[in-house]
A and B are shown apart, each in its own frame.
Chain A
């Protein structure tokens, strides 16, 4: 293991640092001047890019953390171990982004600590708030387990190792709850959100899609990491994960169709309106197409095939959240909203920080799997770390 911290600066990283810097300055301006001065939000559009994209999508994209944790640490499908840590890392960073965007977005930010003390438990937002805070803490602790492999502080590491099982379980239950409660947030929008997206079971759709997005996200992120660090992508692992995603996509599709039928709004999907077209794109391009791509071995087993399908799945979940926040609300909100340049800059800066943090961590902590282990594990088709038992 390396002895010093390393972070090599490339031109690309300088750009990211620059973007992050701009975002920090903009964020300071936003705190001093207020939301109205910096954003294009209005009474008609009280929630915009930061809530719609950074929070809702950021958290959905972090779904890789809990679905992988469930598959690897609870179901003990050890062949997926190689991707477990990377998934945890992205998820953790995703949550931190979500928390930061929440802080940026709340108008009375000096009161941000209040919800810990005044419990509006009949509010869905209360559940979202608590789950996100707790789950971020859990993930920091889970990550601590990795952190102390590098920064050797024996006793702390031991305590954490003991707590790992309950932490892992909490680390699945909490995101299950609040991925779904992000959906429940929109139950209040009855008669406002277009019925193509509004449903009493929107919480189920949200948590379900966050879950099936996980493997797809892991695929994309793993491929990117492999490209960046000149490693071999773990394509066989990705391909075998597609089974999970495909089954879940099929269930998702069927339940959404049944739900539309139940509401009696099935015909609204084909009435040619802007909303109906967006809905059709969402269902056909981002749900049906990936199902078929995953179903065909000739596509699923190639690197480009599994990658393309995964990109579609991830884009589809983002597209779905955007439809809920913007497309579906447009008609009832009236007025129009397009994020201001400042909103874009802050969003860009936040995601730059995400990329930088990811790069720093994988270069300094044991996150990605050792190349030889990967080979050994995959060729034998057994648990990756056979015979490596160290602990008594």
Chain B
């Protein structure tokens, strides 16, 4: 039931139709862009650009290749953003989309603490920094199209080269491995199959993932295959035991160390400091 999108990086021509489609369908305002050396415009997703296509110049021996990578929310199977939010403002729907309820379902509980932004391993959720009461913003997997009209996401529909394939995540995974196994040019890995517990958006590529901006290692180690919520939960689950246990220990200590003759009234011991005679702070 859980949907996904397979992104085949080797097919992308960098036309940015998906970006335009996303803006149009989601009524996102135009933003001013700047030229940069790597042709990225704009380089990162933000509150008004839910998807971007990054340009990467790859040097392999004496060969030079352009590769273009569409980035957006990965719609994790166990999303860090959902587990981080203490107002339940994110939810992983059974269709696979991870949506932000304040804008999607008009359930405005979000307090704007931005812990979701700290938590997301892909740095996806963005804030409307220009607003007095900002919302968090990110790709919503065109949840409205998917749910009500049975349509593909706008970006998938717009893609002219078949880079983006929409379907059941399981099917897409099989398709991905079929392509990888039938063509030796592909890297033998589906990005998103296992990363952080798996994501609904999957990437395959003919150039190494870390060279096209997909994080495969961090601080010299492979990225976690455990989902972030499972890490948090393994610590958080101890809370009630600590609460009760530590409370019991303290109570016991309190009675054990208390001697009756030491019951006294502290009142006599303290005084308000005399501001008239005492030296003032300067």
Task: List residues of chain A with CB within 8 A of the CB of B243.
Answer: 173, 177
Given the known interface contacts A73-B254, A114-B111, A120-B88, the answer about A36 and B235 at a Cβ–Cβ threshold of 8 Å is: no
Q: Does the CB pair B242–A363 fall under 8 Å?
A: no
Q: Does the CB pair A388–B265 fall under 8 Å?
A: yes
Q: Is A110 an interface residue (CB 8 A)?
A: yes
Given the known interface contacts A36-B130, A364-B272, A388-B269, the answer about A70 and B250 at a Cβ–Cβ threshold of 8 Å is: yes
Interface residues of A in 326-374 (CB under 8 A from B): 332, 359, 362-370, 373
Taking the nearest CB of chain B, how far is it from the CB of A222, in angstroms?
12
Given the known interface contacts A122-B232, A363-B273, the answer about A111 and B253 at a Cβ–Cβ threshold of 8 Å is: no
Interface readout for A67-101 with B: 1 if CB under 8 Å, 0 if not? 00010011110100110010000000000000000
Smallest Cβ-Cβ distance to B126: which chain A residue: A43
Interface readout for A110-143 with B: 1 if CB under 8 Å, 0 if not? 1110110011101111110100000000000000
Q: Is A380 an interface residue (CB 8 A)?
A: no
Interface readout for B260-278 with A: 1 if CB under 8 Å, 0 if not? 0111111111111111101
Task: List residues of chain B with CB within 8 A of the CB of A124.
Answer: 84, 232, 236
Q: Does the CB pair B247–A191 fall under 8 Å?
A: no
CA distance A12 to B280 in the complex (A): 10
Q: Does the CB pair B130–A34 fall under 8 Å?
A: yes
Q: Does the CB pair A120–B219 fall under 8 Å?
A: no
Q: Does the CB pair B129–A391 fall under 8 Å?
A: no
Q: Is A298 an interface residue (CB 8 A)?
A: no
CA distance A107 to B110 in the complex (A): 9
> Which of A12, A47, A129 is in CB contact (< 8 Å) with B118?
A47
CA distance A43 to B276 in the complex (A): 52
> Which of B86, B126, B229, B254 is in CB contact (< 8 Å) with A115?
B86
Smallest Cβ-Cβ distance to A69: which chain B residue: B250
CA distance A81 to B246 in the complex (A): 23
> Which of A11, A118, A168, A194 is in CB contact (< 8 Å) with B219?
A194
> Which of B87, B254, B267 is in CB contact (< 8 Å) with A165?
B254
> Which of A108, A172, A191, A373 is in CB contact (< 8 Å) with B111?
A108
Given the known interface contacts A190-B224, A191-B218, A230-B278, the answer about A173 and B132 at a Cβ–Cβ threshold of 8 Å is: no
CA distance A373 to B268 in the complex (A): 9
Q: Does the CB pair B132–A33 fall under 8 Å?
A: yes
Q: Does the CB pair A228–B281 fall under 8 Å?
A: yes
With an 8 Å Cβ cutoff, the count of chain B residues facing the other chain is 80
Q: Does the CB pair B282–A75 fall under 8 Å?
A: no
Q: Does the CB pair B269–A373 fall under 8 Å?
A: yes
Q: Is B63 an interface residue (CB 8 A)?
A: no
Q: Is B174 an interface residue (CB 8 A)?
A: no
Q: Does the CB pair A192–B218 fall under 8 Å?
A: yes
Given the known interface contacts A107-B111, A173-B243, A176-B242, the answer about A188 and B85 at a Cβ–Cβ threshold of 8 Å is: no
Task: List residues of chain A with CB within 8 A of the CB of B231.
Answer: 187-188, 190, 200
CA distance A129 to B263 in the complex (A): 35
Task: List residues of chain A with CB within 8 A of the CB of B132.
Answer: 31-34
Q: Is B114 an interface residue (CB 8 A)?
A: yes
Task: List residues of chain B with CB within 8 A of the CB of A230.
Answer: 278-279
Q: Is B152 an interface residue (CB 8 A)?
A: no
Q: Is B66 an interface residue (CB 8 A)?
A: no
Q: Is A385 an interface residue (CB 8 A)?
A: yes
Task: List residues of chain B with CB within 8 A of the CB of A185.
Answer: 115, 118
Q: Does the CB pair A188–B118 fall under 8 Å?
A: yes
Excluding A75-B253, A366-B270, 9 further A-B contacts by CB distance (< 8 Å) are: A107-B111, A176-B242, A189-B119, A367-B272, A367-B273, A370-B270, A370-B271, A388-B269, A390-B267
Q: Which residues of A contact B (CB under 8 A)?
A: 1-2, 6-8, 10-12, 31-36, 41-44, 46-47, 70, 73-76, 78, 81-82, 85, 105-112, 114-115, 118-120, 122-127, 129, 149-150, 165, 168-170, 172-173, 176-177, 181, 184-185, 187-192, 194-195, 200, 203, 225, 227-231, 265, 268, 332, 359, 362-370, 373, 383-385, 388-391
Query: Could you list 19 examples of A-B contacts with CB < 8 Å?
Result: A32-B132, A34-B133, A108-B133, A109-B111, A109-B112, A109-B133, A115-B87, A122-B232, A125-B84, A125-B113, A184-B232, A189-B118, A191-B223, A228-B278, A228-B280, A368-B272, A369-B271, A385-B268, A391-B263
